[in-house]
Amino acid sequence: MGALRVYGMSKLENPLLADRASAVRVSVAMITMMVLVLISSSTFGAPQSLSAKADSGRVFDQAVKLFDLAEYQKALVLFNKLNLVDGGSAVYYYRGVCLYEVGDYSKSLIALAAVDSADSLYPLACFYRGKIMDALGDPAQAVKYLRVAVTRDSTYGPARLEFINVLLKLREFEEAKKFVAERSDAMEVIALCKGLITIRKYDAAYPLLAKLLAVDSTNAIVNLMLADAYFQTGKYSLAIERYSFILQTFGPSPFVIKRLALCYGGTKEKANLEIAITLMSRYLILSADTASEDIENIGLWYYDLGRYDSAENYFEKAVKLDTLDPQAWLNLGLALMQLGQPRGAIRAMRTAYSLSKSTVSFSLSVLKGMAAAELRIKDYDEAIRTYRRVFEIDPGCEEALYGLALAYDQSQHPKEARYWYQRFIVNDSGHNPSLANYARRRLKELSTKR
C-alpha cells in the first residue's frame, strides 16, 4: 500500500509522466483511504482490533456477574472502563444502578439519564431515577419518573409498589386506589394499606384489609396490619380478637403478646388489667426485654387496681433501669403517696420535676403532686410555695386554687384562706361537687370570724 501511494504521488507531481485519467484514479483512492482513517479515529479513538472488542465483551460480562452478586463497587470499576460502543445503553444503566447502590445519587442520575428512551432498559432507569428523587425528598419529581416506568412496563412489581408509595406521600389517594384496582394484586393492596395506615387513613384501610382476609384469612401480614390499625385507633376489643387469632394460628410471638397486653390494659377494665399484667410478664420472659417502659406499664396496671405496694415495686424497678425517666419518678411518687409515705413521694417528685422542666404540662402534674404531698405532711410553707408555682403557670388551675385555700386555712391564715376559697368557687367547673361544697362552707365559717 505504501509503494502504491508513493508511486501515485510521484505521477501527480510530474504530469508529464502520466495522463489525466491515471491522476484522477490515484486521487480518488487516496481520498477514500483518508476518509476511512478519519471515521475510524473519530468513532473509536483508534482503530480497534477484533481482540480488543472481544476484551470489552469479557469485561462487560464480568461486570454483570459482579453486579448480579451485589458486588456493586467492584462492578462499577469495570463498567467505568467501558463506553457506549462497548455495550450501548446497558453500560449506562448498570453504571447508574451501581452508583445508586453505593450511595452516589448525583452521578447515578447522570448515568441513568444517558439511557436511550428507546431502549428496553429505559423503564428500569426511570424506576431508579424515581427512587433517587424520593430518597432526596422530592416525591413530586419522583412520581414523574415512576409514572413513565409503570406506563412503559406495567408488569414490573417493584416499580408499581414504589409508585404507590410515592402517590401516598403526595396525598394522591384516589389515584393510588385506582392504580391498585387495575390489577388487585395482594402485595399492591398491602402496600396501599401500609401507606394509608402510616398517614392515619385508617377508615380507608379497613375495608381493603377486610377484602384481603376474605380471600385468605390466614395471611399473617394482613392480620397483623389490621390488628395494629385497631390498636392505634383505640379499638381494643377488635384488636384483642385479631391478635388472639394471630397467636392461635401462628404460635407465640413476643411482639404480638406485648401488643395484646397493651390492648387489655387499654380497656381499663379490672378483669382485663389482670390479664394485661400476666401477658406483659410473659412478654418480658420471652423477649428478655429490660425496657423501663414495659416494667412501668405493669406498675400502672397495679396502680389502677389499687395494689399500690406492687405498683411501687415495679416503679422502683423502672427508675433503676432508667434514672432519667421523669414519668417513672412521678409514678413512684404517686404510689408512695397512696402508701402513706409522703416524704418519699416528695423526693421522687422533686427528681421528676428536675428532669421535666422542658415540658410544661408534665411539670404541672409533678408540682401538683409535690404540693399535695407537702400538704399531707403539714409543711404548709412549702405547699404554698409549690401551689403558687402551679398558679403562676396555670392561673385557672382549680387544684392550685383549692390547695392554696386549704394550706392557708390549715396554717391559720383566715384572710388568705377566704381569698383563695373565693377564687376557687368562682373558677369551679363542677367536676368535684364535694370540694366546692366544702369551700363554700369554710368560706361562710371564716367570714363570720374577725
pLDDT of amino acid 184: 74
Map residue 33 onto helix, strand or coil. helix
Are 366 and 353 in contact, with CB atoms under 8 Å apart?
Answer: yes
Domain of residue 307, CATH code: 1.25.40.10
Residue 218 near residue 186, CB atoms below 8 Å: no
Residue 424 C-alpha cell reads as: 376557687
Query: Among residues 377, 399, 424, which one ends one of the domains?
Result: 377
Which tens digit of pLDDT belongs to each residue from 7-31? 233 333 333 333 434 443 434 344 3
Q: Confirm if 109 and 134 have CB atoms less than 8 A apart.
A: no
Same domain flag for 338 and 412: no
Q: Residue 187: which residues within 8 A CB-CB, separation 6 or more?
A: 157, 161
Query: Are 372 and 434 in the same domain?
Result: no
6 in a structural domain: yes
**Is the domain of 359 the same as that of 420?**
no
Cα–Cα dist 285/254, whole Å: 9
In a domain, 254, yes or no: no
* Res 426 pLDDT > 50: yes
Closest CA to 130 of 89, 159, 104: 159
Same domain, 371 and 323: yes
Cα–chain-centroid distance for residue 361?
Answer: 26
The region that residue 46 occupies, defined by phi over 0 for left and psi between -120 and 50 for alpha, beta otherwise, is beta
Query: What is the C-alpha to C-alpha distance for residues 312 and 303, in angstroms, rounded to an integer?
Result: 8
338 domain-assigned: yes
426 occurs within a structural domain: yes
Q: At 287, list the grid cell.
A: 423477649
Place of cell 379499638: 235
Query: What amino acid occupies position 267?
Result: T
Counting residues of the chain whose pLDDT is more than 70, the rounded percentage is: 86
Do both 397 and 337 map to the same domain?
no
**Under a CB-based contact definition with an 8 Å cutoff, are residues 283 and 295 in contact?**
no
Query: Residue 291, class by beta-carbon neighbours within 10 Å (0-12 exposed, 13-18 middle, 19+ buried)?
Result: middle
Residue 14: inside a domain, yes or no? yes
299 and 371 share one domain: yes
Say yes or no: 306 and 367 in one domain.
yes
Domain match, 422 and 360 both? no
Same domain, 346 and 405: no
Output the CA torsion sign for 362, 367, 368, 369: positive
Q: Number of H helices and number of E strands within the chain?
A: 26, 0
Query: Last residue of a domain, which of 337, 356, 377?
Result: 377
- Last residue of some domain: 343, 377, 411? 377
Query: Is 427 domain-assigned?
Result: yes
Residues 412 and 368 in one domain: no
d(CA 382, CA 372): 10
Q: What is the pLDDT of residues 73-106, one digit of tens each?
A: 999 999 998 876 556 789 999 999 999 999 999 9
Give the number of domains in the chain. 3
Q: How would residue 5 be classed by pLDDT, with cut points 50, 70 and 90?
A: very low
Could you tell me if 411 and 440 lie in one domain? yes
User: Do residues 225 and 193 make contact, with C-beta atoms less than 8 angstroms apart?
Assistant: yes
DSSP 46: S
Per-residue pLDDT of 200-253, as tens digits, reads: 888 889 988 988 999 899 999 999 999 999 999 999 999 999 999 999 999 999
- pTM of the complete model: 0.65
- Give the integer Cα–Cα distance in Å for 121 and 111: 13
Give me the domain span that covers residue 344.
Answer: 294-377
Rounded Cα distance between 274 and 307, Å, is 11
Q: For residue 420, is it within any domain?
A: yes
**Shared-domain flag, residues 305 and 367:** yes
Q: Is 228 a member of any domain?
A: no
